[in-house]
Amino acid sequence: KEKHKILHQLLQNSTSPVDL
Amino acid sequence: PEAADLRALARHLYEAYLKYFPLTKAKARAILSGKTGDNVPFVIHDMKSLMEGEQFINCKQIPVPEHHQQQHIKLLYAVELRFFQSCQSRSAEAVREVTEFAKSIPGFVDLDLNDQVTLLKYGVIEVLIIMMSPLMNKDGTLISYGQIFMTREFLKSLRKPFCQMMEPKFEFSVKFNTLELDDSDMALFLAVIILSGDRPGLLNVKPIEQLQETVLHSLELQLKLNHPDSLQLFAKLLQKMTDLRQIVTDHVHLIQLLKKTEIDMCLHPLLQEIMKDLY
């Protein structure tokens, strides 16, 4: 899960934008 | 009733596509064919126009390393690398758009979360390459949401290995564009790519294959209705998926080479995540 942290975040958060 | 369901699915995916992807094929083709009135893209064809065009590109200023401080080297070096960095930022943003589109595919968010990650990891570059096709013609490509047209010759004139990055995408796109898909066809095709049950490391393949089968039926029906005179279009389109995998493999190898040779290049964390142990 740690290996794909940002992808996990993108999949789970529909509104809060990940800092791209 | 079954055909009605397949049409409803096509409509749903087309709506999601329009919602999440800001530059549609219809809009891109209008820009490329000069049908947008005064709204013509800025053309980048050499280093001078690249520097002038930077105001259009959302460039982040990156520090120039000590050993490139000599004035003329610094200038060229910074422009080329800054451009590459802005490509990375746009790609990361595009990954976010593709993720939102994937989540809108009925059943996708009900899949095992690890499988959702795997499908995105392996599918997203293929999707981005397909989405690049409408922005390209044989002479160049639109970038920066259609505000800029960058010539193919200019991209070929960059130093190695930067000059090798786009040429395979041009070759693919020129051929792909002859299929003349529209945005509603593209939406279904992208969903088919995302729902590939043969990605390495998937935990539960069956539900993915079931979802893909439904989207495939919907795509087949869509193409029959939307392109009644284009024979074997469905089969031709599926064959493109094989070419795509080779292009992605080569692309990832080039990025890995860049990482080794360009000591000052930093890869965007999201893209790094996607490309790590990919192929």
Across B75-85, average pLDDT: 70
Collapsing DSSP to helix, strand or coil, A13 comes out as: coil
Distance separating the N- and C-terminal Cα atoms of chain B:
42
Interface test with A, best of B103, B270, B272, B275 (most A CBs within 10 A): B270
Q: Is the dihedral of CA B193, B196, B200, B204 positive or negative?
A: positive
Task: Please name which of B13, B277, B245 lies closest in space to residue B130, comparing C-alpha atoms.
Answer: B245
> What's the burial of B122, exposed, middle or buried (CB within 10 Å: 0-12/13-18/19+)?
buried
Segment A1-20 mean pLDDT: 75
Mean pLDDT of B150-157: 96
pLDDT of the residue at A15: 47
pLDDT higher than 90, residue B193: yes
* Cβ distance of A6 and B270 shorter than 8 Å: yes
With a cut of 60, say whether residue B59 has pLDDT above it: no
Main-chain phi, psi angles of B147, to 5 degrees? -80, -20
Of B25-39, B58-72, B128-142, which one has max mean pLDDT? B128-142
In chain B, what residues touch A3 (CB-CB under 8 Å)? 273, 276
The pLDDT assigned to B91 comes to 94
Q: Which candidate in B202, B273, B278 is best for mutational testing of the A interface (most A CBs within 10 A)? A: B273
Q: Smallest Cβ distance to B99: which of A1, A5, A11? A: A11
| ipTM rounded to 2 decimals | 0.85
Give the pLDDT band (50/70/90) at residue B78.
Answer: low
Query: Mind telling me how many Å the CA of A13 is from chain B's nearest CA?
Result: 10
* B108: chain A residues, CB-CB within 8 Å: none
Partner-chain contact A10 B96, CB within 8 Å: yes
Contact indicator for B54, B224 with CB cutoff of 8 Å: no
Mean pLDDT of B232-256: 95
CA atoms within 13 A on the CB side of B278: 27
Q: pLDDT band at B70, cuts 50/70/90? A: low
Q: Of all residues in chain B, what percent carry a pLDDT higher than 70?
A: 91
pLDDT, tens digit, 9 for 90 and up, residues B86-108: 889 899 999 999 999 999 999 99
Q: Which two tokens stand for residue B3?
A: 């055909």
